[in-house]
A and B are shown apart, each in its own frame.
Chain A
Amino acid sequence: MEEFVARYRNASLLVAVLFVQFVLLGYQVKTGEDVRLVRVWTTALISPVEKLLGNGTGVFGSLWNEYVWLRGTRAENETLEAENERLKLETQQLRRALARFSREEEVLAYQQEILSETVLAQVTGVGSNPNAREVTVDKGRRDGIKPGMAVITADGVVGKVQAAHGSYSLVLLMNDADSGVGALLKNSRARGVLKGTGRVEGRLEYIDAEVEIAIGETVYTSGEDRVFPRGLPVGEVTRVGAVSDYQEIYVRPYAALNRLDEVLVVTAGVHEDLPRFVTPQPPEVMMPMPPGVPDTVSSNGLGDRIGTASNDESSETAGDQAPSGELPSLTEADALLERYRALGAAQQHRYGEGDLQTPPPDFNLGLPSAAALRPPQSDQASRGTASPSPTVSNQLPGNQPQGNELPGNQPENAIEGGGERAVENIRPDPEGDANAADRNP
């Protein structure tokens, strides 16, 4: 055996090594387990070297590419710059095209929306007079355009057609000094004439000084100039000043008069309704009052504060007994509302119920409880003079209580420690006087 192995030493070694590896392979295949030892040693040996060489290659590559091998970099740079400029130009053109397309869409949508018949026209240039505010459009008589027609955009009034030729027209913009647009204010409906000044803002004239105007208020066309249909937006108020009997009101047009592209020429105008002035509604959702402050403000406005059938009990409770330790009402209006509610509850009057003949509660009567008459701090500071006794204030001429006397309503039952203060805050109610007069013919 030894002689055999010695004679075939190489082959024996080969067979032995192969046998070991076959056994190893078979073990792994059969059991499915891995021989981690060899893998761990090999990867521990190879991985650091790989990582080091990989990082080093990256660093070397960067140095080589960025600092050494710069052949062709200049030419590549010039090529890239040229392409960059070309792409920038192309991007701008595409953006302009997109904006134009968006504007055209907007104008076409507005054209469908308004009642007047219009013709879409493209602004092709400005008038040749540098002192005038004029533009030319690409529609003329052949398209039904005539001098005097109104020109508008989706944003608002632009101007009117000054001259119409075969295939183009001249439009006088509303900010030209010779331009005038019949206009009215949205809230007050006061009518005037919006004249151009040659600058961005126009001047709305012939508005009385008594008219209340708010900055930002919208100005619409009045239709009285018989050029622009009524109801078209013109601009908004930016400044207000008073000059003698009329106000000096400056209006910024809604339409971008220096960036016009597509306009609508009104060929057959139809007056439209003006938007109504809507009282701003209080928010539907309101946060609760801070701790310690009674919730005297509701989200439903005054009607809710006066009290309805469903709220009577809560209002009575609140009117008769103000929670101890709570702060007084914040404003005079809150205190007045509280008083009205308390009076209604005290006189068993339900606000909002009954027919038109039902008399309201007598607001001149005092309240039975001290807490309901507790005034806010601001009232005490503002009133310096003492008022007559409760009896006097409740006994105004023609204001005799008629069977509505309530216990505790007599002077001797005045509020402890607060009688004078309570007296000061009982003011004669003009409505109460009228109602008392009705009851005492």
Chain B
Amino acid sequence: MRTSSIRSLSLGNPPLRRRPLERLGPFGSVCVVLTALVAQGLLPRYISGAGLFDLPLLITVYLAMTERHVPRGTLIGAGVGLAQDALTHGPLGVFGIIKTVIGYLAASVSQVIEIDYPGVRSVLAALFYLIHQLLYWVTQSVLLGTDAALDPARTLVLSAAHAGVALVIFRLIDGLKSPR
């Protein structure tokens, strides 16, 4: 059983008893990524408003944080982003670049912050959504020269919504994991 080696945030309370670090494994990770991509395409057909959520982003954040390995997180982000690009009509690399950065940041953050708490993960998910939208706007307007608009109010509201969805999804995926 491997114990966590990360430094935890000290709040004056004794450290919480944590479960042993659990991972999905490569097969599980791939399945989760595929499920997220499929759900991204299917859910908007049955649930109105489901298209506003970026499920591959949440999965990237989750996997990068739970991997706690920056290179793996970076590559996970790149892979998920490129897969998401392949399912859109735009050029490959837009989401790839953005989620590569997100994966890198999520894995880096997981190295310094205790990410086993659901609240921490959901807040981080909201934060990474904001970063994701900012990078998307930069990519579209600077790299591709399109007239992409960034609506701060809408983005803030959606980031909060992503935080709530992340709570649910992360909990679901946690239930799939088995201790090593």
Binding site for B on A (CB under 8 A): 9-10, 13-14, 17-18, 21-22, 24-25, 28-29, 34-35, 38-39, 41-43, 45-46, 49-50, 53-54, 57
Decide if B104 is an interface residue (CB 8 Å cutoff). Answer: yes
Decide if B75 is an interface residue (CB 8 Å cutoff). Answer: yes
Main secondary structure of the interface of B (DSSP, over half): helix
A21 contacts B34, CB within 8 Å?
Answer: no
B93 contacts A50, CB within 8 Å?
Answer: no
A46 contacts B41, CB within 8 Å?
Answer: yes
Are A18 and B101 also in contact (CB < 8 A) when A35-B92, A45-B34, A53-B42 are? yes
Residues of B near A54 (CB, < 8 A) are: 42, 45
Interface string of B152-169 (1 = CB under 8 A from A): 000000000000000000
Complex Cα–Cα for A54 and B39 (A): 10
Decide if B134 is an interface residue (CB 8 Å cutoff). Answer: no
Complex Cα–Cα for A14 and B85 (A): 19
Residues of A near B94 (CB, < 8 A) are: 25
Task: List 5 contacting pairs A-B, 8 Å CB cutoff, sorted by A.
Answer: A17-B100, A24-B96, A28-B91, A38-B82, A57-B42
Q: What distance in Å separates the Cβ of B104 from its nearest Cβ neighbour in chain A? A: 5
B71 contacts A22, CB within 8 Å?
Answer: no
Residues of B near A22 (CB, < 8 A) are: 93, 97
Residues of A near B46 (CB, < 8 A) are: 57
A28 contacts B38, CB within 8 Å?
Answer: no
B37 contacts A46, CB within 8 Å?
Answer: yes
Decide if B87 is an interface residue (CB 8 Å cutoff). Answer: yes
Q: Which of B45, B71, B97, B108 contacts A18 (CB 8 A)?
A: B97
Complex Cα–Cα for A41 and B87 (A): 10
Q: Which of A25, A39, A43 contacts B143 (CB 8 A)?
A: A25
Q: Which of A10, A39, A42, A46 contacts B70 (CB 8 A)?
A: A10
Residues of B near A24 (CB, < 8 A) are: 92-93, 96
B104 contacts A25, CB within 8 Å?
Answer: no
Residues of B near A38 (CB, < 8 A) are: 82, 85-86, 92
Complex Cα–Cα for A280 and B82 (A): 85
Complex Cα–Cα for A45 and B79 (A): 14
Residues of A near B104 (CB, < 8 A) are: 10, 14
What's the count of A-B pairs with C-beta under 8 Å?
Answer: 76
Decide if B83 is an interface residue (CB 8 Å cutoff). Answer: yes
Starting from the known contacts A10-B74, A14-B100, 9 additional A-B residue pairs (CB-CB under 8 Å) come to A18-B97, A24-B96, A25-B93, A35-B92, A39-B92, A41-B86, A42-B86, A54-B42, A54-B45
B97 contacts A21, CB within 8 Å?
Answer: yes
B42 contacts A17, CB within 8 Å?
Answer: no
Q: How many residues of B contact A (CB 8 A)?
A: 29
Complex Cα–Cα for A50 and B34 (A): 10
Q: Which of A25, A35, A50 contacts B38 (CB 8 A)?
A: A50
Complex Cα–Cα for A42 and B93 (A): 14
Most A Cβ at <10 Å: residue of B34, B46, B85: B85
Main secondary structure of the interface of A (DSSP, over half): helix
Decide if B59 is an interface residue (CB 8 Å cutoff). Answer: no
Are A29 and B144 also in contact (CB < 8 A) when A22-B97, A24-B92 are? yes
Decide if B78 is an interface residue (CB 8 Å cutoff). Answer: yes
A10 contacts B108, CB within 8 Å?
Answer: yes
Q: Which of B38, B70, B100 contacts A21 (CB 8 A)?
A: B100
Are A25 and B37 also in contact (CB < 8 A) when A17-B75, A46-B87 are? no
Q: What distance in Å separates the Cβ of B132 from its nearest Cβ neighbour in chain A? A: 15
A29 contacts B100, CB within 8 Å?
Answer: no
Q: What distance in Å separates the Cβ of A73 from its nearest Cβ neighbour in chain B? A: 21
B86 contacts A29, CB within 8 Å?
Answer: no
Q: Which of B87, B101, B143 contacts A14 (CB 8 A)?
A: B101
Residues of A near B96 (CB, < 8 A) are: 21, 24
- Nearest to A41 among chain B residues (CB) is B86
Residues of A near B75 (CB, < 8 A) are: 13, 17
Most A Cβ at <10 Å: residue of B70, B75, B91: B91
Residues of A near B83 (CB, < 8 A) are: 42
Q: What distance in Å separates the Cβ of B144 from its nearest Cβ neighbour in chain A? A: 7
- Nearest to A13 among chain B residues (CB) is B71
Complex Cα–Cα for A14 and B37 (A): 23
B100 contacts A18, CB within 8 Å?
Answer: yes
A39 contacts B100, CB within 8 Å?
Answer: no
Q: What distance in Å separates the Cβ of A235 from its nearest Cβ neighbour in chain B? A: 67
Q: What distance in Å separates the Cβ of A438 from its nearest Cβ neighbour in chain B? A: 102
A28 contacts B92, CB within 8 Å?
Answer: yes
Q: What distance in Å separates the Cβ of B142 from its nearest Cβ neighbour in chain A? A: 12
Within 8 A of A (CB), among B30-54: 34, 37-38, 41-42, 45-46
Residues of B near A34 (CB, < 8 A) are: 91-92
Q: Which of B37, B86, B101, B108 contacts A39 (CB 8 A)?
A: B86
Complex Cα–Cα for A29 and B90 (A): 10
B93 contacts A28, CB within 8 Å?
Answer: yes
Interface string of B123-147 (1 = CB under 8 A from A): 0000000000000000000011000
Are A25 and B42 also in contact (CB < 8 A) when A10-B108, A17-B75 are? no
